C-alpha cells in the first residue's frame, strides 16, 4: 500500500511526497490504521525502522481534522521522551510532516533558559514533545496545562525505564484526562515494559516488528581484537582510508571521549565530540555540524545512541564496547538507516571479552570476527604517524582510567 492510498489530509500527502516517502515501513503499515481508529498501542520495532513517523503521521491527521481555524486552549498531544536531543529531533519530524496543516508542535527540555519556552507555550500549541524534568517544572508553575490532552505517546519507553523515569510517567497521569489514547513505542520489550503498558492502559494492541536478530539486516557488523593502547591507531587508519565517509565513534566515558578526540587531533584527523557534560547549546551545534557534514567524525558517549537520527552515517565504531549489551544494538543502529547499507566495527581489548560475550548472548548470535595477521597489525600500529607527538602526551593518552577493568579478570601469574 502506498501513502497516496491512505485517507490522510492532502497537506500530509503533499509533505510525504516532497520527502520522497512513497510506501510505509512495516511498523508504519501496522501502526497507522490502529492509531487512526483510536486504539491504545504497544509497538516494538528496531531502531531505524521509522517509529517516529508511525505515530506522527496519524496524530497530525487526527488533530488537523478536529482543529478549527480558532485554536482551543490546551495541548492535545504529549510525546514524552528520555533525552533533549530526541525531543528536538521528534519536534522536527512533526513540524516537517505538519507543514501547511492547522497543527503546530513544540519541544520543551531542560538545560536551557525556560523563558523562551514559556513564551511559546503561552501562544498555544497542539503537540508537546518533552523530557520529564522540564515538563514537570512548567506544570508546577502553571505554564503547561494537560487537561485537554487526547493522546499520550511514550517514545523509547525502554530507555525511559533505564533512566529511572517510571515514577515521572506515573506522576504524569495525575494531570491527564482519564479518557485518552496511549501509545508506547520501544526498540526492546521485557516484563517491565509490558507491566507499565498494561498498568497505564488495560488492553493495548501489541505490534511487534522485530526479527530474531535485533541488529538491522542493513548493518554489516563485526569485531576486531585490538589492544586498548592500539585502538587509536586503528581508528586513524580507518579515517584515512575513508576520507569522505561519515563516521560515528562511541566511547564509554566523557574522559575517553575527549582523550580520543585529542589523539585524533594530534595526528591531523579532524573530529568533534559530544557527551552529557557539554551544555545543551554546544551539544546541538555539535550534532548539527555532524549532520550537515561540516565534521565527518563525531566521537560520543551513549547519550547519542538512543533514537537520534543522523543521516548518512557510513560507519559506526565501538571504540569501547558498551557496558550494557542492548546499547550495542542502538549504537550500530545509527548506520544502515531506512534502506541504506551501513558498517559497524567494534574494537575489543582482551579485558572486554566479557562485554562482547554479553552482546552475543543478547543478539543471539556470534559477532563476525575480522582477523589480522601480525604483520598487518604491526603496520597499523606503526608509531611513525605520531613521531612528533610529545612523549608525555602519549603516556597520558595510553593511561587507562582508574578502576576501569572490563570483562573477566585474568589470574595473576605467580
d(CA 241, CA 254): 27
What are 181-216's pLDDT values in tens digits?
A: 999 998 777 788 888 888 888 889 999 886 667 788
Q: Which CATH number fits domain 219-398: 3.30.390.50, 2.60.40.420, 3.40.50.300, 3.40.50.2300?
A: 3.40.50.300
Which stretch of 149-163, 278-292, 385-399 has the lowest confidence by average pLDDT?
A: 385-399
Regarding pTM above 0.85, the answer is no
Grid coordinates representing 42?
A: 504497544
254-301, pLDDT tens digit by residue?
Answer: 899 999 999 999 888 999 998 877 777 788 888 889 988 899 999 999
Phi, psi of 234 (to 5 degrees): -65, -40
- CATH 3.65.10.10 assigned to domain 3-209? The reply is no
Distances in whole angstroms, Cα of residue 234 to Cα of each of 7, 80, 178, 349: 52, 39, 55, 12
Rounded CA separation 258/276 (Å): 12
Sheet arrangement for strand 205-209: 105-108, 127-130, 77-80, 151-155, 181-186, 41-45, 205-209
Give the domain ranges of the chain. 3-209, 219-398
Is 409's pLDDT higher than 70?
Answer: no
**Residue 380, pLDDT above cutoff 90:** no
Which of residues 394 and 325 earns the better pLDDT score? 325
Give SS3 for 249. Answer: strand
Provide CB contacts within 8 A for 380, sequence distance 6+.
230, 233, 234, 237, 372
CA separation for the pair 292, 336 (Å, rounded): 18
Shared fold status for 3-209 and 219-398:
yes
Query: 16: which 3 cell numbers?
Result: 510525504
Q: What is the pLDDT of residue 5?
A: 92
Look at phi and psi of residue 370 and say left if phi exceeds 0, alpha if psi is from -120 to 50, else beta: beta
pLDDT at 387: 45
Residue 411 has pLDDT above 50, yes or no: no
Amino acid at each position: 500500500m502506498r501513502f497516496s492510498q491512505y485517507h490522510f489530509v492532502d497537506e500530509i500527502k503533499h509533505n510525504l511526497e516532497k520527502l520522497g516517502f512513497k510506501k510505509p515501513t512495516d511498523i508504519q503499515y501496522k501502526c497507522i490504521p490502529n492509531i487512526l481508529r483510536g486504539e491504545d498501542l504497544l509497538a516494538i520495532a528496531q531502531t531505524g525502522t521509522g517509529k517516529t513517523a508511525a505515530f506522527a503521521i496519524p496524530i497530525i491527521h487526527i488533530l488537523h481534522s478536529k482543529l478549527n481555524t480558532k485554536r482551543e486552549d490546551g495541548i492535545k498531544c504529549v510525546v514524552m521522551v528520555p533525552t533533549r536531543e530526541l525531543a528536538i529531533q521528534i519536534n522536527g519530524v512533526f513540524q516537517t510532516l505538519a507543514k501547511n496543516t492547522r497543527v503546530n508542535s513544540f519541544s520543551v527540555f531542560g538545560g536551557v533558559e525556560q523563558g523562551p519556552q514559556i513564551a511559546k507555550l503561552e501562544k498555544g500549541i497542539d503537540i508537546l514533545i518533552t523530557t520529564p524534568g522540564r515538563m514537570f517544572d512548567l506544570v508546577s508553575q502553571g505554564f503547561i496545562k494537560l487537561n485537554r490532552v487526547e493522546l499520550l505517546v511514550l517514545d523509547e519507553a525502554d530507555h525511559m525505564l533505564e533512566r529511572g523515569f517510571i515514577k515521572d510517567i506515573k506522576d504524569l497521569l495525575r494531570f491527564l484526562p482519564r479518557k485518552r489514547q496511549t501509545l508506547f513505542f520501544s526498540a526492546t520489550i521485557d516484563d517491565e515494559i509490558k507491566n507499565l503498558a498494561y498498568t497505564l492502559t488495560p488492553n493495548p494492541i501489541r505490534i511487534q516488528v522485530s526479527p530474531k536478530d535485533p541488529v538491522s539486516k542493513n548493518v554489516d557488523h563485526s569485531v576486531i581484537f585490538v589492544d586498548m593502547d592500539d585502538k587509536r591507531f586503528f581508528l586513524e587508519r580507518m579515517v584515512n582510508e575513508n576520507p569522505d565517509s561519515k563516521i560515528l565513534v562511541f566511547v564509554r566515558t566523557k574522559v575517553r571521549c575527549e582523550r580520543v578526540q585529542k589523539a585524533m587531533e594530534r595526528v591531523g584527523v579532524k573530529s568533534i565530540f559530544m557527551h552529557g557534560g557539554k551544555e545543551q547549546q554546544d551539544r546541538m551545534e555539535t550534532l548539527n555540524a555532524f549532520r550537515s557534514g561540516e565534521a565527518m567524525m563525531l566521537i560520543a558517549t551513549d547519550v547519542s545512541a538512543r533514537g537520534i537520527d543522523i543521516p548518512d552515517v557510513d560507519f559506526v565504531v565501538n571504540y569501547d564496547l558498551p557496558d550494557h549489551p542492548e546499547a550495542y544494538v542502538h549504537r550500530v543502529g545509527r548506520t544502515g538507516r531506512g534502506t541504506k547499507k551501513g558498517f559497524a566495527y567494534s574494537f575489543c581489548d582482551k579485558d572486554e571479552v566479557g562485554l562482547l560475550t554479553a552482546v552475543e548472548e543478547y543478539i543471539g548470535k556470534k559477532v563476525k570476527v575480522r582477523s589480522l595477521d601480525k604483520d598487518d597489525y604491526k603496520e597499523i600500529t606503526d608509531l611513525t604517524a605520531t613521531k612528533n607527538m610529545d612523549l608525555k602526551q602519549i603516556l597520558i593518552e595510553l593511561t587507562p582510567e582508574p578502576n576501569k577493568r572490563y570483562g573477566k579478570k585474568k589470574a595473576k601469574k605467580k
